[in-house]
Structure 1
Amino acid sequence: MPNRPYIMYELTNSICSTCLRKVEAKIIFENENVYMVKHCRHHGREKVLISTDIDYYKKCRQYIKPAEMPYRWNTPIKYGCPYDCGICPDHEQHSCLTLLEVTDKCNLQCPICYAESSPHKETWRSLEDIEEMLDAIVKNEREPDIVQISGGEPTIHPHFFDILDLAKSKPIKHIMVNTNGIKIAQDKQFAKRLASYSPGFEIYLQFDSFEESVLKELRGADLRDIRKKAIENLNEYNISTTLVVTLKKGLNDHEVGSIIQYGLKQRSVRGVTFQPIQAAGRLENYNPATDRLTLSEVRKMVIDQSGVFKDDDIIPVPCHPDCLAMGYAIKMGNAVTPLTGMIDPDVLLSGPENTIVYEQNEEMKKKLFSLFSLNQSPLSSAIQLKDLLCCLPKVSTPMNIGYDNVFRVIIMQFLDAYDFDVRSVKKSCVHIAHPDGRIIPFDTYNLFYRGDLEKKLEIIRNEMVVTNHD
C-alpha cells in the first residue's frame, strides 16, 4: 500500500486563521520541515510552515520542565483555551515578562505595528489606571521578574517619569522601556535622567536595520541617524540596552550577524532580541504560507552570521521552548565567550522544582565558577549578577565580571492565527496587562483581546454555548 509523504509527529489544537474557531491540527514532518496541518469545516484546509529544523523542534521537547505558576488566577475556565484569558487556571506559566501599555499615541506610524499605534491616536492612560495595572501584575507575581513599559511610544507620555517612579516603587526586579529611541536621540538630558533609574532598568530599543529602504518599509521613516544618536547617548550614560530587531523574511534577515557584531561593540548594549513578524496588526502583501520566518530559521542565521554562537550555544528557553531561544556570552574587552553551550542541559533543567532562576542550584554555580574563576576566590571576591539574566541562573561571579559583561541573544517568536498552537500558548510567559486587571498572554491578546477584538470573540463564545446546549 502507498505511504503518506510525511510522518505525523504529534496532535494539537489550533484555530482557523479566518474565523478563529478552534480546530484540530496535526504536526507533520515533510521534506525536512515541520508543518502544521489543520482543517476548518467553514474555511477548509491550511498547511503552515512552523520549523525548518526537525532536530531542533524535537530538542525543544527535551527542555520542558515543571511550570512556575502565578500566585493567583484572573479568570475562570469556561470556554477553554484560548477563549478564557487570562490568566486562567489552565495556563501553565507565570509571567516572565509583562507588558504595560501606557498610550496608543506614537510619533511613528510603523506599517508592521501590531497595536496599530499612530500620531493620530490620543489615548493616554492616567497614572491612577497605570498604578492599578501595576498592582494587578504584582498581585499575580508578588515580585515580577520584568515589567516592560510600552505603547504606542511610552516616552512621549506627559507623565512618563512619574510612570517610572511608580514602577520603581513596586517590588519589580527589572523594568524595561520599549521605545523607538527618538526622544532619547533628540534630548540628551532625557537620556541622562533615564540613567538615574539604574540598576534594574533597561531600554528595549527598536533596531531593525542599517539600511534606509528596510527602515522605510518596516517603520515608515529613515531612522538611521536617530538610532546612531540614541546609541551615543545610551553609551555615554551606560544605560543597559537591548537592541530589538523585527525581522521580515527576505528583507532584513541578512543583517542578523552585523547587528550582533554592532551590539558587541557598544558599551551599553547587553544583547539583541530578534522577533520574526507576527501576522497581527498592519500587514500588507504578507502571505503567511510563503513569507513566514520561523524561529529555527532565525536561529540558523544567528549561528551562520554572528561569528560568535555555534549550534550548542542557542538553546530553547525552558519556560516556553517552542517560541523562545536564547544564547548567552560574556564579553571581556574584545574577547567574547559563549556561555550556554558550556552548560550541560541536564544542569539547566535540574535544580529547585518550578523555578528557572536557580539561585539555590549549587551544581550550576560550581560550573560557572569553573568557567570564570580567573584565579579568584568566589567566597572572598564575589558579587552577584542581580540584574537580568533571563532564564539562566543568577550566580555569584568574580568581582571584575558584572552585568556590563553580559551579552545575550534572544529569539522571541509570537504565535499568530496561522501557527497558533493551544498546547504551546498555554506555556506562554510573555504577557500583557489588560486595563481591567487581567494578565493575558501576548499571543492571544493580539488575536482576541486588543481593542474591539473581544466583540468578535463573544460571537465564538455564544456559538459554543448554543452548541453545548444542542
Structure 2
Amino acid sequence: MTTTAELLEKRAKKKLIGKTRSICPECNAILPAEIFEEDNKIYIKKNCPRHGEFEELYFGDASMYYKFAKWLRDGKGTGNPDVVVTRVACPANCGLCNEHLSHTALANIVVTNRCDLHCWYCFFYAEKSGYIYEPTLEQIKEMVLNLRDERPVPGNSVQITGGEPTLRDDLPEIIKIIKSVGIDHIQLNTNGIRLARDFEYFKKLKEAGVSNLYMSFDGVTPRTNPKNHWEVPAVLENARKLGVGVVLVPTIIKGINDHELGDIIRFGFSNIDIIRAVNFQPVSLTGRMPKKEREKYRITIPDCIIKIEEQTDGMIPRDAWFPVPSCIPLTDFIEVLTGKPTYMLSTHFACGAGTYVFKDGDKLKPITEFVDVEGLLKYLQDKAEEIEMGRNKYWVAMKVLANIGKFINSKKEPQGLNLKRMIFDIIVKHDYKSVGDWHRRSLFLGMMHFQDKYNYDVERVWRCEIHYLTPDMRIIPFCAFNVLPEWYRDRIQAQYGIPIDEWEKRTGRKLSDDFYRRKLPAASQ
C-alpha cells in the first residue's frame, strides 16, 4: 500500500510543463489535462468524473521534448473553413473549423474499407464495421475539388488509402480524376501484395499518374513482417521497372519489432535506387486497453530515435533529428522571395520528426554531420524577416548565396556531393535536376506518431495538417477522424456505405474472396 509520504514524494518529482485538453478513453468526455515531466519523460494526465484518472506516457525523452518545442509556430489556418464555430470545442465539430491552425499538407482519401489482410493494430476494416464504404468517382472528384478550394494554400498532395486501395479495379481511373483537378502529388498507401503479383495493374497506376508508394513494411524478417515479407522483393522489382519511388512505412511496436529499426534503415539503403524514405510510425493503441498492456506496447518518437542511434552504432545520433515545424524558416524564405503562398508545415512538434542520411562508403552520414542545420535555418529566418521589412529581395538572395557555404563543411560532405552548388542551381538557375540527385544519394528518415485516446492532446489536433477528405464535404484532422471513429470515420462511412450482404449481392462476390491466402514453398513455411 502506498503511504502518504510516498505519494507526496512522487508528486514533488513531477514538473508541470503545460495545460491542454484531452478526452476520456472510456466516454469521450472532453477534459482538462496536464502535461508534466517525471524521470526525464513527458506524461499527460486527465481525470474523468465518471471513469477516474488516466496517466499516459506522452514523449519518452524530456530533453528531446524541450529541444523540439522551441520550433513551435502557429500556421496559416484556413481562410475558408467548412465548419464555422463561435465556441471551440475541439475535437468536436471538426471539418476544418475557423479556429484550426494549419492548412492541409497531405489529404487522405479512403477509397475502400476492404482489405486483404487482418492486422491486429489496424484502425479499421470492413468485416469489423459490417458495411462496405467505397465512394463513387463523382464523390471522390468533389472531395478533391473541396481540397483545391482551401485557402490560403490550395491542397496539392493526396494519399489514396484504405483498407487496401488496390482492391479497387477502378483505381487507375480514380488517380486520373485526382490528377485532372490539379493535384500534383498522389501517394498510394498499400501493402503492395497486388502490385507484386500484377505488373500490368501496377503499370496502369503509373500511367494514370501515381507519384510513389507508401508501403507498409514492419521489419526485415518473416516474424516481424508477416504481412508482406515475401512480396516486398517483387514490389521493389516492379517499381524499378516502372520508375515509381517507394516509401517504407514500419509501424513500430515495443517488444515486437523495435529491435529492427537499424536493419530497416540498412534495407532502405540496400535498395536506395528505388526507396526514397523510411517513415517510422510508433503504434497508436486503439480500443480499450489496460495500463499494463499499454506499457507493454507503447513506444514514442524519442524512444525510436534513441534505438536507431544504438542500432546504427551511433552513426545516426539523436541530435541529427529535427521536428517537422523546423522547416518553416526555409518555406518562409521561399515565400517572401517568390511572393506566392507556400506550404507551411506547422504541425505540433511532438507529432513528427525527420532527418536526411547519406551513404558515404561504409558509413551512414546524417546531414547534420556536414551542415549546421540549425544555424542555416535561423539564418534563413532572419533573411526572410529582412525582406518582409522592405529590404530588396534580390539583394538578400544574393547575400544568402554568398554566405550559405559558411554553414556547410565541404571536407565532411559525402564523396561526390556538392551541396553549395546544388542550392545555387535551385535558387539561381531554377534547375531542379539536383533535387533528384539529392534523393538518389540520400534516404529521408521520418517519424510520425498518431495519437490514441490515452495520450490525446487537443493542441496537437488544432495544429494537425494530415487530414481526411469526406463525402459530406468536410476536411477532418487525422487524430479526430481515426481516434474518435464514433464521431467521424465510422459515422460518415456508415452513412455513405452499404451493408456487406447488399454489396455481395450487387457484385456477385463474397467479402472473404478478398482475403489473401499466401502459398509458400514447404521450405519457407
Query: Could you tell me which residue of structure 1 aligns to residue 451 of structure 2?
Result: 415
How far is the alpha carbon of 1:197 from its aligned partner? 5.4
Query: Could you tell me which residue of structure 1 aligns to residue 63 of structure 2?
Result: 55
How far is the alpha carbon of 1:153 from its aligned partner? 1.1
Match of 2:149 among 139, 150, 153: 139
Query: Could you tell me which residue of structure 1 aligns to residue 36 of structure 2?
Result: 28
Query: Could you tell me which residue of structure 2 aligns to residue 338 of structure 1?
Result: 366
Q: Percent identity?
A: 28
Distance change (3 Å), C-alpha of 1:336 and 1:239: farther
Q: Give the TM-score taking structure 2 as reference length.
A: 0.74
Query: Could you tell me which residue of structure 2 aligns to residue 102 of structure 1?
Result: 111
In structure 2, how many angstroms separate the alpha carbons of the residues matched to 1:154 and 1:377? Answer: 41
Match of 1:174 among 185, 200, 203: 185
| Cα distance per residue 1:298-354 (max 9 Å; x no partner) | 12122222354222211111122111011113457876542256243254365458x
Is this contact kept in 2: 1:316–1:325, CA < 8 A?
A: yes
Q: What is the aligned length?
A: 435
Is this contact kept in 2: 1:76–1:88, CA < 8 A?
A: yes
1:50-449 superposed matches below 5 A? 50-77=58-85, 78=87, 80-118=89-127, 122-140=132-150, 143-196=154-207, 201-216=211-226, 219=227, 223-266=228-271, 267-280=273-286, 287-306=293-312, 308-318=315-325, 319-320=346-347, 321-331=349-359, 336-340=364-368, 342-345=371-374, 347-348=376-377, 350-351=380-381, 352=384, 362=397, 367=404, 370=408, 378=421, 382=425, 398=434, 401-446=437-482, 447=484, 448-449=487-488
How far is the alpha carbon of 1:285 from its aligned partner? 10
How far is the alpha carbon of 1:407 from its aligned partner? 1.4
Which has more radius of gyration? Answer: 2
Q: Partner letter of residue 153 of structure 1?
A: E
Q: Give the TM-score taking structure 1 as reference length.
A: 0.83
Farther off after superposition, 342-351 or 133-142:
342-351
In structure 2, how many angstroms separate the alpha carbons of the residues matched to 1:338 and 1:56? Answer: 18
In structure 1, how many angstroms separate the alpha carbons of the residues matched to 2:121 and 2:114? Answer: 15
Q: Which runs of 5 or more structure 1 residues have no equivalent in the other structure?
A: 354-358, 385-393, 456-470
Q: Partner letter of residue 304 of structure 1?
A: E
In structure 2, how many angstroms separate the alpha carbons of the residues matched to 1:227 and 1:286? Answer: 34
In structure 1, how many angstroms separate the alpha carbons of the residues matched to 2:323 and 2:431? Answer: 20
Q: Partner letter of residue 135 of structure 2?
A: R
How far is the alpha carbon of 1:433 from its aligned partner? 0.9
Farther off after superposition, 344-353 or 66-75:
344-353
SS for the counterpart of 2:297 is coil
Give the helix-richer structure, 1 or 2: 2
SS for the counterpart of 1:213 is coil
Q: Partner letter of residue 106 of structure 1?
A: C
Match of 1:450 among 462, 468, 489: 489
Is this contact kept in 1: 2:133–2:493, CA < 8 A?
A: no
Distance change (3 Å), C-alpha of 1:331 and 1:176: farther
Is this contact kept in 1: 2:79–2:150, CA < 8 A?
A: yes
SS for the counterpart of 1:401 is helix
Farther off after superposition, 188-197 or 71-80:
188-197
| Cα distance per residue 1:350-380 (max 9 Å; x no partner) | 5458xxxxx9995876647956795699499
Is this contact kept in 2: 1:347–1:364, CA < 8 A?
A: no
In structure 2, how many angstroms separate the alpha carbons of the residues matched to 1:364 and 1:173? Answer: 29
SS for the counterpart of 2:263 is helix
Query: Could you tell me which residue of structure 2 aligns to residue 41 of structure 1?
Result: 49
In structure 2, how many angstroms separate the alpha carbons of the residues matched to 1:282 and 1:438? Answer: 28
In structure 2, how many angstroms separate the alpha carbons of the residues matched to 1:397 and 1:103? Answer: 36
Distance change (3 Å), C-alpha of 1:279 and 1:417: same
Q: Partner letter of residue 329 of structure 1?
A: V
In structure 2, how many angstroms separate the alpha carbons of the residues matched to 1:312 and 1:376? Answer: 21
Distance change (3 Å), C-alpha of 1:413 and 1:403: same
How far is the alpha carbon of 1:243 from its aligned partner? 0.2
Q: Partner letter of residue 490 of structure 2?
A: G
Q: CA RMSD in A?
A: 3.4
